[in-house]
Structure 1
């Protein structure tokens, strides 16, 4: 439920509950879904929400709460203008009360209004100097977000960014462990097959990786699959 009583204690208790919910999610996708759901539940005026995630230098929408989020986000990506794009590039927060009167984005503003979106809040999601993307909140109402809502949303976005980067690190660690185990299994297969030691088996995997222009764990996985199917 959105915080409306204005008390710091109430806000702190709400944020603590949100933080525990986000940290309990098991993976990146689940964390993103939890962030978006909590944003709609917690931030006053938010009817729709989504995350614009930066991956490999590109921005794309993940975990949208509705189809209109994907539509409005894609307009910004295609036009290369809009509060979401600027939140990521300029490291700022943007609040819009009425896109009909919005002059900062002359092409995107009217397009958003044509799709029934009039108010927006866009927060940069970041930890230290690393930008993860942006959290975008939309409403069909004019002036749905005020200054207090924007400030509360800042705290929410900070918790969301911490939860997201934590989930990403856990996912990377899980992949690293899985890759290590696959490589170890592949080394064992080569040692048994060719009667060689672990160092020589590892060199064979590296040479095969370079020759095939594949990552080491991919070559190892292919060898393990081949052994399993044989």
Structure 2
């Protein structure tokens, strides 16, 4: 492993990740970086588990989707276990699936049939009931070494920071957009009903509570239709 070259690639990747303009774009760049930077990696993706339901984000190959769906169908497998267990190890490396038939008797032989030889993963984030893991795949057994695991750990550590930053930015943009649409809706009510700012907000809040509709959705309806009727 040429660690000097790898360090240069990581620095470039870190800048690239921070330059992405959305959470989805950031996640896609993370997965692509895994195939570019980690020796032996043929495919990568991010698996999110919520209440035992899985979602595959930004897969670089159909193999990633097929493997995630297999784990959900069987309810077992290394990526599935790592993503749904916040108390599990943050990093796992499966050198050869042939040796894992006892650990995952249903999953291991079927994953091999899909073309998975070895795997590696890193717990990327946990939030409420959601757990996400960056997973790497090779078609060859023994493709991932200790050096590969270290490279994956470094990549995933940068990825976790970039993902957190992208998500925070997206949440701020969403909050600003929500504030804007609520302000616009209040202005419409104030003009149509001759209300004060406080009274207009009270109308929005009451309608939201009485109809069990989020405040921003009430505001959007007013902006689109001009009224609540």
TM value normalised by structure 1: 0.90
C-alpha distance in structure 2 between counterparts of 1:17 and 1:131, whole Å: 29
> Is 2:194 aligned against 1:195?
yes
CA-based RMSD: 2.1
Q: Aligned residues, how many?
A: 223
C-alpha displacement at 1:18, in angstroms? 1.1
C-alpha distance in structure 1 between counterparts of 2:192 and 2:127, whole Å: 49
Correspondence list, 1:148-163, <5 A: 148-163=147-162
Gap change, CA 1:16 and 1:130, over 3 Å in 2: farther
* Contact in 2 for aligned 1:125/1:131 (Cα 8 Å): no
C-alpha displacement at 1:53, in angstroms? 2.5
C-alpha displacement at 1:122, in angstroms? 1.2
C-alpha distance in structure 1 between counterparts of 2:127 and 2:54, whole Å: 20
C-alpha distance in structure 1 between counterparts of 2:27 and 2:127, whole Å: 20
* Contact in 2 for aligned 1:53/1:134 (Cα 8 Å): yes
* Contact in 2 for aligned 1:59/1:133 (Cα 8 Å): no
Q: Which residue of 1 aligns with 2:175?
A: 176
Deviations 1:196-225 (A, max 9, x none): 100000000011111221000000000000
Q: Which residue of 2 aligns with 1:95?
A: 93
In structure 2, stretches of 5+ residues that fail to align are none
In structure 1, stretches of 5+ residues that fail to align are none
Secondary structure of 1:26 counterpart: coil
C-alpha distance in structure 2 between counterparts of 1:210 and 1:130, whole Å: 26
C-alpha displacement at 1:52, in angstroms? 0.8
Q: Which residue of 1 aligns with 2:42?
A: 47
Gap change, CA 1:205 and 1:220, over 3 Å in 2: same
* Contact in 2 for aligned 1:43/1:152 (Cα 8 Å): yes
Q: Which residue of 2 aligns with 1:24?
A: 19
Secondary structure of 1:59 counterpart: strand
Q: Which residue of 2 aligns with 1:143?
A: 142
C-alpha distance in structure 1 between counterparts of 2:24 and 2:191, whole Å: 39
Q: Which residue of 1 aligns with 2:112?
A: 113
Q: Which residue of 1 aligns with 2:7?
A: 12
C-alpha distance in structure 2 between counterparts of 1:33 and 1:199, whole Å: 44
C-alpha distance in structure 2 between counterparts of 1:210 and 1:83, whole Å: 44
Gap change, CA 1:68 and 1:217, over 3 Å in 2: same
